[in-house]
Amino acid sequence: MREHIAVFLLSGMVVLGAAGGAQAQKLPRECQEAMAVRSPQAQVELFSRCLDTGRLSGADKATTLKQRAVAYMHLGRHQRAIDDVNEAIRIRSDDPDNYYLRGMAYRALGQHRQSIEDSTRAINLDSKFAAAYANRAFSLKATGKESQAKADARRAQELDSSVRVPGF
């Protein structure tokens, strides 16, 4: 099973499955440094330098854009996160993490219709993506679609009991 993004909100750390292990060894020094720091602002600066090197392409570039997007989200800069994820989607439109992340940013901005659409895209790409069901549940609840929200929250919990879902 493919790895999904793990965002550790309490520590400010950003960890993306595709950026671990041997993958990190071939990334530019700035990218490796960004993965080691805890400050979201420092991560944004280092991931930006890494992207500016022009040495990234394909999946490496998409992953680095996602990592910077998560750091932007920690800083409350959700539109900047959306911009990065949009670019990652242009590179990897088949990656459910991209749609999940953008859906999270849209939800943070109160744009629940877009959040629901992106969460649904993530689920269509990976029907076992618990966090995408949870994100969609929060936005469905916010738009008054409580029965659908409850169904998504239940599905999220069935897939991963540790995922946070809205209360009812």
- Per-residue b or e along 114-127, where b marks 16 or more CB atoms closer than 10 Å to that residue's CB: bbbbbbbbbbebbe
Please say if the pLDDT value at position 12 is more than 80: no
**82 and 154 share one domain:** no
pLDDT tens sequence across 68-120 = 999 999 999 999 999 999 999 999 999 999 999 999 999 999 999 999 999 99
Q: Which domain holds residue 18?
A: 1-93
- Token pair recorded at residue 21: 């292990």
The structure's pTM equals 0.85
How much is the pLDDT for 33? 83
Task: Kindly state whether residue 77 falls inside one of the protein's structural domains.
Answer: yes
Q: In terms of domains, do 132 and 83 share one?
A: no
Looking at the domain assignment, is residue 107 inside a domain? no
pLDDT per residue over 51-80, tens digit each?
998 989 999 999 999 999 999 999 999 999
Structure tokens that stand for 44 in this block: 């944004």
Residues 6+ apart with CB under 8 A from 81: 69, 70, 72, 73, 101, 102, 105
